[in-house]
Amino acid sequence: MPRLLIQIFCLLGAATLAVAADSPLKESRQCLIVQTDDWTAKRGQLTSFSRDSVDGPWISRGDTHDVVVGLAGLAWGRGLADLSGQKGPVKRERDRKAPAGVFRLGQAFGYAAVGAESVRQLKLPYLALTPDFEGVDDPRSRFYNRIVERSKVDAVDWKTAERMRRKDSLYKWGVVVECNTDPVEPGAGSCIFLHIWRNAESGTAGCTAMTEENLIRLLGWLDPKEKPVLIQLPREVYGVLRSEWKLP
């Protein structure tokens, strides 16, 4: 092969590798995929996948189950994926939409004490909720999109927040979805979680919810060493982006 053609071939190969490396799943070996019928659907299905290496094939764990998302459906949220050029609604505070895109899964939380047997079985870092913890959803606060202990804040600067230790069981178990965290953009959405649903028909304020049994099963599997992510998309959009984003 002539030297010039070899050089061109090498350059094209390098470009291809660069594109592949830009997949929002490039570091992950565990992922949860939620697909809904369209942007406005509040119900969806979740399937979990894993792979042995970051360049290996994704294998379904064979456990698809029902979830609910935002009462108003999905909207693009700020996460790992490059959303430039994407069409569709954009996530804003109090829009009752769950974020669409690819997001890291952070710490687990719940009502159980740190030393409880159920907690010792978790691999994710765990936050034991008390009545003092609040999820700040006031975009004007310096603590926006953070879970904080109110009594430990020198100057409370928020007017709205959610009590994390609820009177119901919705946050008995949960996982933080790292949407709008790096960096935080005021008004782009806050305090997004995986948590327990009220029922199969009730959408959320912006989280993704499921039965307690299914959530506990996921909590026992998710491992921070595998850099787990949540992928949420309408089915048609998933089909369009599957190849480009290297989705399962």
Do the beta carbons of residue 94 and residue 61 sit within 8 Å?
no
Segment 72-130, tens digit of pLDDT:
999 999 999 999 999 999 999 999 999 999 999 999 999 999 999 999 999 999 999 99
N- to C-terminal Cα separation, the chain: 36
| CA geometry: angle 179, 182, 186, nearest 5 deg | 70
Q: Is 40 exposed, middle or buried (0-12, 13-18, 19+ CB in 10 A)?
A: middle
pLDDT of residue 159: 98
Kindly state the average pLDDT of the residues 132-143. 98
Do the beta carbons of residue 186 and residue 157 sit within 8 Å?
no
- At 22, the pLDDT band (50, 70, 90 cuts) reads confident
> Could you give the residue ranges of the DSSP H alpha helices within the chain?
3-21, 117-120, 212-221, 235-241
Asked if the model's pLDDT at residue 219 lies above 90, the reply is yes
Asked if the model's pLDDT at residue 17 lies above 80, the reply is no
Segment 231-243, tens digit of pLDDT:
999 999 999 999 9
Distance CA(167)–CA(214), nearest Å, equals: 21
**Residue in the structure block whose two tokens are 């327990």:** 196
- 153: β partners: none
pTM for this prediction: 0.91
* Residue-averaged pLDDT of the chain: 92
Asked if the model's pLDDT at residue 184 lies above 90, the reply is yes
Kindly state the average pLDDT of the residues 53-68. 96
User: Which residues have CB under 8 Å from 162's CB, separation 6+?
Assistant: 134, 135, 137, 191
User: Which residues have CB under 8 Å from 48's CB, separation 6+?
Assistant: 30, 31, 32, 33, 60, 61, 63, 218, 221
- At 6, the pLDDT band (50, 70, 90 cuts) reads very low
The token duo for 236 is 């048609």
**68-100 b/e with 16+ CB inside 10 Å = b?**
bbbbbbbbbbbbbbeeeeeeeebbebebebbbb
